[in-house]
Amino acid sequence: MKAIKRIGVLTGGGDCPGLNAVIRAVVKTAIRRYNVEVVGIINGFHGLVNDVMVPLNEESVAGIVHRGGTILGTTNRDNPFRYAVEKDGELAFEDRSEQCIQNLRKHNIDGLIVIGGDGSLNIAHQFHAKGVPVVGVPKTIDNDLSSTDYTFGFDSAVTTATEAIDKLHTTAESHHRIMILEVMGRYAGWIALYSGVAGGADVILIPEIPFDLGKVCDHIRARNERGRKFSIVVIAEGASEKGGEMVVQQRVEKSHDPIRLGGIGQEIAHKLELCTQMETRVTVLGHVQRGGSPTSADRILSTRYGSSAVDAVMAGYFGHMVALRTPKIVPVPLTEAIEMKKVNPQGQLVQAAKAVGISFGD
């Protein structure tokens, strides 16, 4: 096996708290533990296609463990295997993966660390199939990647959503209102489930458990009869009524991922107001849950992921992603890692939530 002298690192897809802590751990581990150089690739795969790279040293990553976002920048548009270009005024897609491989060679990069979600890790997997020595790190606030107990960024998003629920509680109680909080998560209900349980929500609606609005109304009315004249509903952006469809805010047809979810909170607000006769308000948390400082748990997880990713590169675990299998971080094949992980409706957390009186509308 070729000796590793230089590692490249990039962040791809939606940003999330903890990215900088991973980058810092990659750089420090590479330099301190292995005496290996690190090159940062700017704006994810865009920088790999267009050869925009910067050397990273301990100085470049000083003081960033607590900072949200990514010092390398990211994009969720650029897929090297389906790269958007303008041809004769028309949009066309080209395979630029060979150009990326040449750029990696030009910079003598012997190992590539891709920090990303399902989309970026899919691209990483395709590069590995072409012989690129790549290792993945599971990033996403959604926690929807299989093979790992948790992705980094999830705990920070849950913390932000929980704080929002705490705040909605005080105003809901004062005004005797229903407060609906719509959270992110795409097709998985992890953020809604965890923040809903942590924040003491009355109703949690997730994509994995299609809901019956009548049952949600009954639950809220029963609370009213017990003297609890307000209710908090946490709803995942991908949740839908039984027999209904997910609410799509926008379709971006040219994108690999054309569906932008959003709007289910507003849609059920009207219906809940009608059936309960209670004033209802909606808060869409949006990108607030993706921004800001990572929690201490995410800083620790990110540091472990970053340092283990370098270990994986040095040990030749290419085509793998570092995954948390409590209490260890282990390499798992990217093919397994990019499968989607959903909430198990029969799982212990859903059952515990039901035991304390939370309705899932089922």
Ligand X SMILES: O=P(O)(O)OC[C@H]1O[C@](O)(COP(=O)(O)O)[C@@H](O)[C@@H]1O
Q: Which residues define the annotated binding site?
A: 14, 77-78, 117-120, 140-142, 177, 184-186, 237, 281, 287-290
How far is residue 150's CA from residue 142's CA, in Å, rounded to a whole number? 10
Can you name the residues that pair with 179 across neighbouring β-strands?
232, 281
Q: Which is nearer to ligand X, 252 or 349 (CB)?
A: 252
Of 9-17, 202-210, 288-296, 349-357, which segment contacts ligand ADP by CB under 6 A?
A: 9-17
Residue 185 interacting partner from ligand X, ligand ADP, Mg ion, none (CB closer than 5 to 8 Å by kind): ligand X
- Asked if 294 interacts with ligand X (CB under 6 A), we say no
Query: Are 37 and 55 within 8 A, CB to CB?
Result: yes
Q: Which is nearer to ligand X, 128 or 186 (CB)?
A: 186
Instruction: State the nearest-atom distance from the C-beta of 22 to ligand ADP, in Å.
Output: 13
Give every CB contact of residue 303 below 8 A, 6+ residues apart in sequence. Answer: 21, 22, 24, 25, 65
Using CB under 6 A as the binding rule, the residues of this chain from 112 to 141 that contact ligand ADP are 116-120, 122-123, 140
Query: Are 59 and 88 within 8 A, CB to CB?
Result: no
Binders of ligand ADP: how many residues, by CB under 6 A?
17
How far is residue 192's CA from residue 285's CA, in Å, rounded to a whole number? 11
Q: Which residues are annotated as a binding site for Mg(2+)?
A: 118
Q: Which residues are annotated as a binding site for substrate?
A: 140-142, 177, 184-186, 237, 281, 287-290
Instruction: State the nearest-atom distance from the C-beta of 249 to ligand X, in Å.
Output: 9
Of 75-83, 208-216, 246-254, 277-285, which segment contacts ligand ADP by CB under 6 A?
A: 75-83
Q: Which is nearer to ligand ADP, 115 or 192 (CB)?
A: 115
- Asked if 15 interacts with ligand ADP (CB under 6 A), we say no
Instruction: State the nearest-atom distance from the C-beta of 317 to ligand ADP, in Å.
Output: 20
- Asked if 124 interacts with ligand X (CB under 6 A), we say no
- Asked if 319 interacts with ligand ADP (CB under 6 A), we say no
Exactly one of 125, 128, 290, 320 binds ligand X (CB under 6 A); which one?
290
Active site residues: 142
Count CB neighbours of 256 within 10 A: 16
Instruction: State the nearest-atom distance from the C-beta of 188 to ligand X, in Å.
Output: 9
Exactly one of 40, 80, 119, 294 binds Mg ion (CB under 5 A); which one?
119
| Preceding amide of 327 cis, omega within 30 | yes
Exactly one of 15, 37, 118, 155 binds Mg ion (CB under 5 A); which one?
118
Residue 79 interacting partner from ligand X, ligand ADP, Mg ion, none (CB closer than 5 to 8 Å by kind): ligand ADP
Residue 142 interacting partner from Mg ion, ligand X, ligand ADP, none (CB closer than 5 to 8 Å by kind): ligand X
- Asked if 79 interacts with ligand ADP (CB under 6 A), we say yes
Q: Which residues bind ligand ADP (CB under 6 A)?
A: 12-14, 76-79, 116-120, 122-123, 140, 256-257
Q: Which residues bind ligand X (CB under 6 A)?
A: 13-14, 76, 117, 140-142, 184-186, 237, 260-261, 290
Q: Which residues bind Mg ion (CB under 5 A)?
A: 117-119
